[in-house]
């Protein structure tokens, strides 16, 4: 039986148009929880709005500002921290560098007196009465605007995407209020944002790579023709704008942040934020496993996979610093599978430090190649295609990364990615109470285990299989389009309506 690489006509039509690649550093970006599309995206959008005002010397002219949230952002924004994230963006905070303590201090002050310092206070001014100046930074007027002043339109879905957000700045001229600047943004998953009719899918940083694959079939063909692994091809594309040292250091930094996220989570006790009273489990599980499995016995491998996924997603639920992989809601899967690769596969576990780092880099590059396909060909937004687009994509990426570092052929890597998604098709996004807790946290653990199984199944074969990755991505896209809006991050169906919040 030959590998069936027939590509759906919709994929064939678009492949020639996608002469770019999405960087590994766009799919894996450092931000804060609990949601990349509902927290990170809105923060970036409102910060972009403020930056445009600054660039056009309009900041000082603002008399009032207003935010409208549409669709899923409005329906589940309260549980995802969307409103506070939007305000933080207006105050100069960005997900990559945000000081969580300073941001929360600003929000606490806002809840008391309603003050909103556009473009922010200096960090030393949180206890002061008025904004001051730090050399080289612009600060705007201090307005009065709270989360409760925003207009929520959960039943209005703008044409571009269900995660819509409009920001309007007003000024006063001759005693009358006028619109100074108005922009509409869409948070399209993974922290990516687009503005209005902007065509770029956000984060397209590799405009002219040597291997601009638009489908899984093209990825395989280009890699095999060039004599490269999938990770090697991705590295070649990344090299079009960065040095190898920058790529390597950047990926290893992302890996360190993932491990720091786990470490922070393991120290937490009590309950996750919100009314659901979900108990923190990762810390207790870790203490038990350290006693039960001091020598990394294979029988405990999946227990550790489950733990790592739980730890990351509990930290995400707390609003801590996490890495989109490719989204916050699915951020525990790749760290969990990577932990398995580093600690429970003998050919990697017993390597030297440099060789282990090489494997980490390869893992991320292969995973990013697969993630780019989902971003181009379908969606990674739960609000657009359900959780199959988040957890399913992350599981597919993780399976590909694991198959890569375990020595799989390109065909086996593609097969691993396909298997993982095939068995996540139709997965709904139905967060209870709009919080990224139930079923999201346990779902990450299940999908991580699924990725390990998918990779090991693919490695037992020879790469020849009936269903191609392109076909399963297209199926995921079609399934997402057919899925009722109730199951696409609106908390209007599924577990969200059958589980009592408190």
Nearest one of 331, 360, 356 to 252, comparing CA atoms: 360
In b/e form, how buried is each residue of 136-160, taking b as 16+ CB within 10 angstroms?
Answer: eebbbebbebbbeebebbbeebbeb
Q: Can you tell me the mean pLDDT for 8-35? A: 74
Query: Residue 301 — very low, low, confident or very high, per pLDDT cuts 50/70/90?
Result: very high
pLDDT at 124 over 50: no
For the purposes of burial, counting CB atoms within 10 Å of the CB of 80, is it exposed (0-12), middle (13-18) or buried (19 or more)? buried
The answer to whether residues 373 and 469 touch, using CB atoms and an 8 Å cutoff, is: yes
At 206, is the secondary structure helix, strand, or coil? strand
- Per the DSSP assignment, residues forming a β-bridge with 271 are 279
Q: Can you tell me the mean pLDDT for 261-282? A: 96
The answer to whether residues 435 and 276 touch, using CB atoms and an 8 Å cutoff, is: yes
Helix axes 333-344 and 301-317, enclosed angle (nearest 10): 150
Neighbours of 354 (CB within 10 A): 7
The answer to whether residues 93 and 47 touch, using CB atoms and an 8 Å cutoff, is: yes
Q: Can you tell me the mean pLDDT for 33-53? A: 94
Distance CA 87, CA 414 (A): 42
In b/e form, how buried is each residue of 254-276, taking b as 16+ CB within 10 angstroms?
Answer: bbebbeebbebbbebeeebbbeb
pLDDT at 380 over 70: yes
What digits encode the pLDDT tens for the residues 66-122?
999 999 999 999 889 999 999 999 999 999 889 888 999 999 999 999 999 999 865
pLDDT at 435 over 50: yes
Nearest one of 415, 467, 450, 247 to 334, comparing CA atoms: 450
| Mean residue pLDDT across the chain | 91
Kindly report the three-state secondary structure assignment for every residue of 169-185.
EEEEECCEEEEEEEEEE
What digits encode the pLDDT tens for the residues 126-145?
333 333 345 556 788 999 99
Distance CA 147, CA 142 (A): 15
Half-sphere exposure of 4 (CA within 13 A, CB side): 9
Distance CA 6, CA 378 (A): 17
Query: Residue 160 — very low, low, confident or very high, per pLDDT cuts 50/70/90?
Result: confident
Geometric angle at alpha carbon 136, from 132 and 142, rounded to 5°: 35
Q: CA end-to-end span of the chain, whole Å?
A: 54
Enumerate residues 6+ apart whose C-beta is below 8 A from 485. Answer: 157, 162, 492
pLDDT of residue 5: 37
| Phi-psi group of 16: left, alpha or beta (phi > 0 → left; psi -120 to 50 → alpha; rest → beta) | alpha
| Phi-psi group of 289: left, alpha or beta (phi > 0 → left; psi -120 to 50 → alpha; rest → beta) | alpha
Tokens coding 268: 């937490």
The answer to whether residues 49 and 90 touch, using CB atoms and an 8 Å cutoff, is: yes
The answer to whether residues 178 and 171 touch, using CB atoms and an 8 Å cutoff, is: yes
Tokens coding 68: 């409208």
């Amino acid at each position: 039986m030959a590998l069936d690489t027939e590509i759906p006509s919709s994929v064939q039509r678009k492949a020639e148009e996608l002469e770019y690649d999405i960087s590994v550093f766009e799919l894996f970006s450092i931000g804060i929880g609990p949601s990349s599309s509902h927290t990170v995206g809105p923060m970036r959008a409102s910060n972009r709005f403020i930056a445009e005002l600054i660039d056009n010397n309009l900041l000082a002219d603002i008399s009032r500002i207003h935010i409208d949230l549409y669709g899923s952002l409005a329906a589940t924004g309260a549980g995802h921290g969307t409103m506070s994230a939007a305000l933080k963006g207006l105050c100069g905070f960005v997900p990559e560098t945000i000081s969580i303590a300073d941001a929360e201090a600003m929000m606490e002050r806002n809840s008391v007196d309603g003050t909103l310092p556009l473009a922010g206070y200096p960090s030393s001014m949180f206890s002061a009465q008025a904004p001051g100046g730090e050399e080289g930074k612009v600060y705007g007027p201090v307005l009065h605007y709270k989360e409760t002043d925003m207009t929520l339109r959960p039943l209005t879905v703008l044409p571009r995407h269900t995660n819509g957000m409009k920001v309007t700045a007003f000024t006063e001229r001759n005693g009358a209020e006028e619109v100074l600047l108005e922009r509409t943004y869409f948070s399209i998953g993974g922290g990516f944002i687009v503005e209005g009719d902007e065509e770029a899918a956000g984060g397209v940083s590799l405009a002219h790579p040597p291997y601009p694959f638009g489908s899984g079939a093209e990825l395989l063909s280009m890699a095999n023709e060039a004599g490269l692994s999938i990770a090697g091809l991705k590295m070649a594309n990344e090299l079009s704008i960065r040095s190898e040292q920058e790529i390597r250091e950047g990926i290893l930094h992302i890996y360190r942040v993932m491990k720091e996220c786990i470490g922070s989570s393991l120290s937490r006790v009590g309950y996750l934020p919100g009314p659901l009273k979900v108990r923190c489990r990762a810390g207790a599980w870790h203490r038990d496993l350290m006693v039960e499995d001091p020598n990394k016995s294979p029988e405990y491998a999946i227990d550790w996979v489950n733990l790592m996924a739980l730890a990351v997603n509990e930290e995400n639920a707390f609003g801590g610093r996490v890495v989109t992989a490719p989204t916050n809601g699915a951020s525990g899967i790749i760290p969990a599978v990577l932990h398995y690769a580093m600690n429970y596969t003998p050919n990697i576990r017993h390597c030297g430090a440099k060789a282990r780092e090489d494997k980490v880099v390869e893992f991320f590059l292969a995973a990013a190649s697969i993630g780019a396909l989902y971003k181009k060909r379908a969606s990674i937004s739960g609000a657009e295609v359900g959780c199959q687009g988040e957890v399913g994509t992350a599981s597919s990426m993780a399976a590909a990364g694991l198959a890569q570092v375990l020595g799989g052929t390109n065909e086996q890597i593609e097969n691993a990615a396909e298997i993982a998604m095939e068995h996540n098709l139709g997965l709904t996004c139905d967060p209870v109470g709009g919080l990224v807790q139930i079923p999201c946290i346990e779902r990450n653990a299940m999908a991580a285990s699924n990725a390990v199984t998918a990779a090991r199944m693919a490695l037992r074969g020879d790469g020849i299989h009936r269903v191609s990755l392109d076909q399963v991505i297209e199926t995921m896209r079609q399934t997402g389009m057919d899925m009722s809006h109730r199951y696409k991050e609106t908390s209007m169906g599924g577990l969200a309506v059958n589980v009592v919040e408190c």
